[in-house]
Amino acid sequence: MENQFGHLEILNEDLSPDDIPPASAILAEIFVFGLTYDGYEHHPEDCATIANRAAERYRDTGALPDSLDELRACLFFEQRRWHHFGCPLTEDATRYVRALAEAIRGLVSAAEV
């Protein structure tokens, strides 16, 4: 089913590692994947809070959320954030987005074992 952003929604339980671009992919590809999860729909009251808290924690400690749901909400929100900024990502933001993609890939790959 398409979400409000015109992308096919992929539920967490339907994700496979093949759906997730590697951290080394171009950012546009990672952001297209980010739009396969509508954080506003899944977290209508607190998507921004989840994402902002996680981004701050990553900046301070390098730690990322443990749950697939929160990781995907964060990646979705970063796509929306930088889309609205309308400018290229900073180096720190690029590192964070790539870390989110890698963490998502790791959780999905581990679940398939």
Contact 61, 96 (CB under 8 A): no
Give me the pLDDT at residue 5, please.
67
- Each residue's pLDDT, cut to its tens digit, for the chain (113 residues) gives 777 767 789 999 999 999 999 999 999 999 999 999 999 999 999 999 999 999 999 999 999 999 999 999 999 999 999 998 988 999 999 999 999 999 999 999 998 75
In single-letter form, the type of residue at position 63 comes to A
Domain-embedded: residue 2:
no
Domain-embedded: residue 6:
no
Q: Which of 2, 69, 64, 13 is nearest to 35 (CA)?
A: 2
Domain-embedded: residue 7:
no
Number of structural domains the chain divides into: 1
